[in-house]
Each structure stands twice: as structure tokens, then as C-alpha cells.
Amino acid sequence: MTQYAILLFTPAPADPADLPPAELQAHLAHAEEAERLGGRIVAGYGLQPSTTATAVRGDTVTDGPFIEAKEVVAGFYILEARDLDHALEIARRNPATWRGGVEIRPLFA
């Protein structure tokens, strides 16, 4: 099986503390749903708000996000799936698509 990163995007600014309880439960249930569909969530993490980020670009270090954005990366999953179509089938069901979106990228083996 191939591993994919599923990046979770939400409207900026994103604070995990603001996640509605039903959406949090849906994220927890997403791993079980991935298993039922024949995939496997290997890991998943929410990220602290982008205001806690430190960016490095060349020799420049800045606090907070480097650019102003309409969406921020709020978290990610590592998913094992048969192929990209299978990963998309699972990712489409992710609750992050309710308010934002997801991006799927294969990992280097």
C-alpha cells in the first residue's frame, strides 16, 4: 500500500480549541471509516494555530505565518491506501471538507 499525506485546511485563523465537538468526533470516527474502506490511518495530528508558527526562508526567521492566507493547515493524517483513487475516496469523507478542504500527496517511499 502507498502512503499519502492528507493535509487538512480550514478557514484562517484556525484554533483547535474552536473545533465544534461534533466535528472532533467526526475526525475520530474517520479513522474507523478508513479501515472499513480498506485503508489505514497511520498517524494524525492537529496543529497549533498558525500564530504559533516560526517560518524560515533563507536567512530570514519570522514569527507567525509567512504570508497572509485565507486558509491555514490545521492538521494532517498519514494514510495507507491502495492507490490515489482509493486515497481520494477516503479523503473526500474527511470532516475537514465541511468548512475547508484537504490536499492529498503521496509520500516518498
Asked if 30 and 95 touch (Cβ cutoff 8 Å), the reply is: yes
- At residue 16, the pLDDT reads 67
**pLDDT by 10s per residue, the chain, length 109:** 999 999 999 887 666 677 788 888 998 899 999 999 999 999 999 888 888 888 888 888 888 666 666 788 889 999 999 999 999 999 999 999 988 899 999 999 7
pLDDT of residue 26: 92
Say if CB 2 and CB 106 are below 8 A apart.
yes
- Asked if residues 42 and 79 have their Cβ atoms less than 8 Å apart, the reply is yes
Burial per residue of 4-14, b for 16 or more beta-carbon CB atoms within 10 angstroms, e otherwise: bbbbbbbebeb
Site of grid cell 479513522 = 31
Q: How many domains in the chain?
A: 1
Residue 65, pLDDT score: 62
The whole domain housing 94 covers: 2-106
